Amino acid sequence: MELKRLGESDLRVSALSLGTMTFGEQNSEADAHAQLDLAIAHGVNFIDSAEMYPVPPRAETQGLTERYIGSWLKHQQRDKLVIATKIAGPSRGFSWIRNSPRVNRQHLEAAIDGSLKRLQTDYVDLYQIHWPDRYVPMFGTTGYDISQEHETVPIAEQLAALADLAKAGKVRYIGLSNETPWGVSEFVRCAEKLGLPKIISIQNAYHLMNRSFETGLAEVCRHAQVGLLAYSSLAFGHLSGKYLIDPNVKGRISLFPGFGQRYAKPNVPAASKEYVRIAQQAGLSPTQMALAFARTRWFTSSVILGATSLHQLKENLDSAELVLSADVLEQIEAVHKVYPNPAP
């Protein structure tokens, strides 16, 4: 498994990493441990989680994902692994997390202490803001609506609190998730101006049907030396082709329809059909082609895998060495021109 430097840090993360949002909802603790063991056996060293997981978020299950990782992690060689988690922000309305979470000093301190306890570790290698404290359009909504703006914790204040978590040895590096070009630029600017820790990563959706990262964010992250941790690289299963065979097949879209807003767009079926066709004609697994595409972009530090079975996870992991031919890449670009970003 290739290891890549994450941003300007000394962290070297596996090109494929394990996402864990199914742990505690679709996957039992035993399932979770089996997935973790399989990933590590294939060279994965980077495990990503969040305090709000599993998905869909519920008060009854919140924190189970980190607990399942923790009961596994205590038996591992900690310094060989890169463990990441995230603090929830206010935009999603999760009132059961600290009576409505914010990204301020009080909530950051409580959140990291809770995560460390559940993960059974003294520190996390990467601590991420799951989505901005301020309003931004997310998860299928693309237009910026100024009427949705609200009071927010200043970015400088967020960074100062994160700096103290780093000084306390609880956090090694910091990153963002579901961020915008302005947000990345402002975090970098404030860090440089105030002498505070600089972000090293951004975890955003990136896949064949959502390449919006390639415009503003790719340029910003290149110059700021911020690495992309690409999530949802199979577009909630659409790029595997399974929904073309049976739209009602058991999967995240059918199980949790509220999370499918991004993919309920008119050109998604047509675009996914074309990408599946390209893979099949080239003798490739559609799943592995999609993952290889995301993994081999110049701005990608790691592709976060999400699976509910060991069979799925193994197919994902087996894409680690796949390099797409020039002909396949040319065909992908042709489809992208016809159906640009149908699932942003």
- Taking residue 318's Cβ as centre, other Cβ atoms within 10 Å add up to 15
- The confidence band for 259, taking pLDDT boundaries of 50, 70 and 90, is low
Q: Would you state the pLDDT for residue 263?
A: 85
Quick check: is 68 catalytic? no
Task: Give percent of the chain with pLDDT exceeding 70.
Answer: 99
| Mean pLDDT, rounded, for 20-30 | 97
pTM, entire model: 0.97
Where do runs of H (alpha helix) occur along the chain?
A: 29-41, 64-73, 105-119, 155-167, 181-194, 216-224, 242-245, 252-255, 268-281, 286-295, 310-317, 326-338
Residue 279 in this model has a pLDDT that exceeds 70:
yes
Residue 300 in this model has a pLDDT that exceeds 90:
yes
- Taking residue 93's Cβ as centre, other Cβ atoms within 10 Å add up to 10
- pLDDT tens sequence across 234-243: 999 999 999 8
d(CA 64, CA 124): 17
**Cα dihedral value 214, 247, 256, 138, nearest 10:** 20
- From the list 53, 206, 231, 339, the catalytic residue is 53
Q: Would you state the pLDDT for residue 175?
A: 98
| Mean pLDDT, rounded, for 43-71 | 97
Residue 250 in this model has a pLDDT that exceeds 80:
no
Q: Would you state the pLDDT for residue 91?
A: 74
| Mean pLDDT, rounded, for 56-68 | 96
Q: DSSP string of 238-267? A: GGGTHHHH-TTSSSHHHH-GGG-GGG-STT
Residue 69 in this model has a pLDDT that exceeds 90:
yes
- The confidence band for 248, taking pLDDT boundaries of 50, 70 and 90, is confident
324 has which bridge partners?
none
Burial class of residue 135 (count of CB atoms within 10 Å of its CB; 0-12, 13-18, 19+): middle
d(CA 204, CA 341): 14
Residue 61 in this model has a pLDDT that exceeds 80:
yes
Residue 252 in this model has a pLDDT that exceeds 80:
no
The CATH architecture assigned to 3-235+295-322 reads Alpha-Beta Barrel (3.20)
CA 264: distance to chain centroid? 20
Q: What is the mean pLDDT of the chain?
A: 95
**Cα dihedral value 316, 60, 51, 178, nearest 10:** 70
| Mean pLDDT, rounded, for 239-249 | 87
CA 217: distance to chain centroid? 15
- List the one residue out of 108, 47, 54, 50 whose CA is nearest residue 78: 47
| Mean pLDDT, rounded, for 252-279 | 86
Burial class of residue 42 (count of CB atoms within 10 Å of its CB; 0-12, 13-18, 19+): middle
Q: DSSP string of 63-114? A: THHHHHHHHHHTTS-GGG-EEEEEE--STT--TTSTTS--SSHHHHHHHHHH
Residue 258 in this model has a pLDDT that exceeds 80:
no
d(CA 288, CA 303): 12
- The confidence band for 260, taking pLDDT boundaries of 50, 70 and 90, is low
- pLDDT tens sequence across 106-160: 999 999 999 999 999 999 999 999 999 999 988 877 789 999 888 999 999 999 9
d(CA 164, CA 311): 42
CA 253: distance to chain centroid? 17
d(CA 88, CA 111): 8
Q: Would you state the pLDDT for residue 95?
A: 93
- List the one residue out of 217, 249, 233 whose CA is nearest residue 296: 233
- pLDDT tens sequence across 173-228: 999 999 999 999 999 999 999 999 999 999 999 999 999 999 999 999 999 999 99
- pLDDT tens sequence across 305-314: 999 999 999 9
* Amino acid identity, position 22: T
Q: Would you state the pLDDT for residue 256?
A: 73
